[in-house]
Amino acid sequence: MELSERKKKILASVVEKYIATGEPVGSKVLCGSLSVSSATVRNEMSELSEMGYLEQPHTSAGRIPSQKGLRYYINNLMTRYAVSDAERFSIDSGFDNAVGEPVEILRNALRLLTDITGCAAIASTPYDAHSTVKRVEIVPLSPKTVLMILLSSTGIIKTRICRCESEMDIKTAELFYNIAGAQFIGHHSYEMTTAKIQTLAASLGDKVLVMTPLLVTLSELAHEASRSDIIVDGQSRLLNFKELDSSVYDILEVFKHASQLSRILSSGKESINVCIGRECMNRSLENASVVFSKYKVGGRDVGSMGIVGPVRMDYAKIIPCISYIGETVGNILSETIEE
């Protein structure tokens, strides 16, 4: 049923006052701003409660928005604020020295998010089904040991120490780079199958013992670089919210399971997504909200980042900040990869 204009105004007022104070909102509080009698407001609030948009914590208390009411407010009534010049400057300043691989840039972004929102922050590292191996280097550590460094087209860097069966010399290193350039650089990780490694190894003659560990390590690093990981920050911030007292430890437990966070972050269909309580499809998050934005690298959606906090949060101010930080991260990552 479509809400009347008066019901919309009352619902919006209840949501905004509840977000600001954390206290149930009574009819008398709304009368002045709505220019109607307390009895009229009370009747409208009662009907909104029957429709499931408002809840009454106690018999004599005012109303608070239900999760259904918050969803309607966010989708239909909320004022869409723009990031202020001061906020934009503060965020941009936080990225002034942002260099390095994507994980470090994302960690920097998460620290900004926790400082701005007071909530916990989460992000998925770049994932692109079309990502390829961009560069490979080997650094000698000892006659039979090298450090292998792989850079993917999404900017992810993976490293691993590899021990060979015999000593590495210049000709062996040149052979490795020739094979890597022809068979791995510019190729997708899913092309690097066990059968492919075995075929390459079979063609190496007396170099098979020294080369096989290198090729296996390169293949494994490529597969690791193609997977998305979850990084988190500021979980302890959730202890500051009294409304989470009864469920905070259940929420903190979710942060130990990357797969659960990954499922939420990958569920978003829009550039900015809000999951309220039960919408998170996780019993431990029934009293929490997750707000996250996608970020792009090279024009493609490759990951998401956002916050986990109480259902009562200032969505109108938080959403544009998350969106702007996500956009900034995407721009920085794109520039870093191009360089």
What distance in Å separates the CA atoms of residue 128 and residue 96, rounded to the nearest whole number? 26
pLDDT values of the chain reduced to their tens digit, one per residue, 339 residues: 689 999 999 999 999 999 999 899 988 888 877 778 888 999 999 999 999 999 988 766 789 999 999 999 999 999 888 899 999 999 999 888 766 788 999 999 999 999 999 999 999 999 887 889 999 999 999 999 999 999 998 888 999 999 988 888 899 999 999 999 999 999 998 888 889 998 998 898 888 888 999 999 999 999 998 889 999 999 999 999 999 999 999 999 999 999 999 999 998 888 999 999 999 989 999 999 999 999 998 888 999 999 999 999 999 999 999 999 999 999 998 887 766
What distance in Å separates the CA atoms of residue 260 and residue 275, rounded to the nearest whole number? 14
pTM exceeding the 0.75 threshold for the entire prediction = yes
CATH 1.10.287.1060 at 5-77, yes or no: no
Among the four given CATH numbers 3.30.450.40, 3.30.470.20, 3.30.70.270, 3.30.565.10, the one describing domain 85-127+229-338: 3.30.450.40
What distance in Å separates the CA atoms of residue 157 and residue 57, rounded to the nearest whole number? 51
Q: Which residue ranges make up each domain of the chain? A: 5-77, 85-127+229-338, 133-225
48 class by beta-carbon count within 10 Å (0-12 exposed, 13-18 middle, 19+ buried):
buried
What distance in Å separates the CA atoms of residue 81 and residue 97, rounded to the nearest whole number? 28
Nearest to 231 by CA among 78, 121, 319: 121
